[in-house]
Copies of this chain bind each other. A is one copy, B any other.
């Protein structure tokens, strides 16, 4: 009898589901031991990982340089992966945490207690470090996890997943709590999104627009969306010029391929004359290409024109669209129209203007006088993250271990009945 992909996926879901209760009830020590064991294996067997990653890279000659860079493991990156696992192991256990407690006049004592979500499926693209981070964060939060990585890194990811399963077993936890989809068949994703309803409690897509769109269209289970970040820097009329230069440069150029990188610069028309030149110079010196609206091109004709599409483009490259706006209200309106509710920052010395921006901009993360590249679980102090959620429910912004828990309400009484 031939085993179909559907059979295999159902079996995988059943295995994860069966491991769920053991993970949910696992003591913190067991989960941490598993993460430490995985870190140890990754360091010890570094050369196996490098050579299998080299084989994946050899098959990916036609991919872009940026893509291949994200796929690539180096000894330093491997050390970083292991270090991240140890950091996650060192985090406080999020399960059983009492989020809130209160007592009612009738004597009933209420506790809102953090519990695991259950079975989480994570569908992601190229980076192999996501395999380790996602597995570790999900396990730390007491969840069983189904991982589906990008096909280009299949061999690297499979090896990492196998070591995680070994590590779980060594810690006395079911290896089946980690399932890795060992096929590049895209139909497998469809099975996760609709066929595993009732088995998978949450799907987290992490990747480009087309992946997230597919997940949102097809999912019959809850989704924690990680949409693109068309992040904005707004330089207000009361901006400090040094902060404006430093924060804009860092927001755009520190790393251009991350979702928290700025893609649009908005400048208050009232300060265009003195703010644009130094900011543009710093960006150009760092290798950034600018695209401007009419107002920008009027003062810097060498800049290429920005079209309507540019305002909603996530370049993930050293390109920045620049527009003049009419004060903070103009900036708020521009972000509302083109933004992706990810991360935006205002540079101003005026606290009232800052509060207006922070309050009116409806994004997961809003900053004042700080770089958009702080949109990161590590920078938030979460230790690690699976991504930046841009949906509106459950979690917004960095998704770390706490965000992969839910809660129940425990009520203790002494025989109370309701009148």
A186 at the interface (CB under 8 A from B): no
Is the pair B370, A409 in contact by a Cβ cutoff of 8 Å? no
How far, in whole Å, are A416 and B379 apart by their CA atoms in the complex? 12
Indicate which residue in B24, B362, B369, B413 contacts A414 across the interface (CB closer than 8 Å): B369
A104 at the interface (CB under 8 A from B): yes
List, in ascending order, chain B residues with CB within 8 A of A222's CB.
222, 391-393
Encoded as 1 (CB less than 8 Å from any B CB) or 0, chain A from 233 to 250 comes to 000000010110011011
Is the pair A379, B24 in contact by a Cβ cutoff of 8 Å? no
- From known contacts A374-B416, A412-B369, infer whether A406 and B393 are also in contact, taking CB-CB under 8 Å: yes
A408 at the interface (CB under 8 A from B): yes
Is the pair B406, A201 in contact by a Cβ cutoff of 8 Å? no
Is the pair B409, A202 in contact by a Cβ cutoff of 8 Å? no
Docked complex: A363-414 residues within 8 A CB-CB of B: 363-371, 373-374, 376, 379-381, 391-394, 396-397, 406-414
Is the pair B415, A370 in contact by a Cβ cutoff of 8 Å? yes
A360 at the interface (CB under 8 A from B): yes
Indicate which residue in B217, B242, B392 contacts A415 across the interface (CB closer than 8 Å): B242
Query: Smallest distance from the beta carbon of A108 to chain B beta carbons, Å?
Result: 6
List, in ascending order, chain B residues with CB within 8 A of A369's CB.
412-416
List, in ascending order, chain B residues with CB within 8 A of A336's CB.
21
How far, in whole Å, are A30 and B104 apart by their CA atoms in the complex? 30
Which B residue sits closest to A359, measured CB to CB?
Answer: B25
- From known contacts A380-B409, A406-B392, A408-B397, infer whether A415 and B110 are also in contact, taking CB-CB under 8 Å: no
In the complex, the count of this chain's copies comes to 2
A2 at the interface (CB under 8 A from B): no
Which B residue sits closest to A217, measured CB to CB?
Answer: B220
Is the pair A416, B371 in contact by a Cβ cutoff of 8 Å? yes
How far, in whole Å, are A220 and B225 apart by their CA atoms in the complex? 13
Which B residue sits closest to A216, measured CB to CB?
Answer: B220
Is the pair B366, A417 in contact by a Cβ cutoff of 8 Å? no
Query: Smallest distance from the beta carbon of A245 to chain B beta carbons, Å?
Result: 10
Indicate which residue in B202, B224, B370, B409 contacts A396 across the interface (CB closer than 8 Å): B409
Is the pair A409, B366 in contact by a Cβ cutoff of 8 Å? yes
Is the pair B118, A413 in contact by a Cβ cutoff of 8 Å? no
Is the pair B115, A362 in contact by a Cβ cutoff of 8 Å? yes
Query: Smallest distance from the beta carbon of A57 to chain B beta carbons, Å?
Result: 28
- From known contacts A104-B381, A254-B418, A360-B25, infer whether A370 and B240 are also in contact, taking CB-CB under 8 Å: no
How many of chain A's residues touch chain B, expressed as a range?
A: 35 or more
Is the pair B408, A363 in contact by a Cβ cutoff of 8 Å? yes
Query: Smallest distance from the beta carbon of A144 to chain B beta carbons, Å?
Result: 13
Docked complex: A8-58 residues within 8 A CB-CB of B: 21, 24-25
Query: Smallest distance from the beta carbon of A249 to chain B beta carbons, Å?
Result: 8
Indicate which residue in B25, B381, B393, B417 contacts A250 across the interface (CB closer than 8 Å): B417
Q: Can you name 25 A-B pairs with beta carbons within 8 Å?
A: A21-B360, A110-B380, A115-B362, A117-B393, A222-B391, A243-B414, A247-B415, A362-B408, A363-B408, A365-B409, A365-B411, A366-B410, A367-B411, A367-B412, A369-B412, A369-B413, A369-B414, A370-B412, A370-B413, A370-B415, A371-B418, A374-B411, A380-B409, A393-B406, A396-B407
Nearest first, the 8 closest Cβ-Cβ pairs linking A and B are A370-B413, A250-B417, A243-B415, A394-B394, A373-B418, A393-B394, A367-B411, A370-B416
Beyond the given pairs A108-B370, A365-B408, 14 more chain A to chain B contacts, judged by CB atoms under 8 angstroms and listed by A's residue number, are A104-B379, A115-B362, A117-B392, A249-B417, A250-B417, A365-B409, A365-B411, A368-B411, A368-B413, A370-B416, A380-B409, A392-B406, A396-B408, A397-B408
Interface residue ranges, A against B (CB under 8 Å): 21, 24-25, 102, 104, 108, 110, 115, 117-118, 201-202, 216-217, 220, 222, 224, 240, 242-243, 246-247, 249-250, 254, 336, 354, 358-360, 362-371, 373-374, 376, 379-381, 391-394, 396-397, 406-418
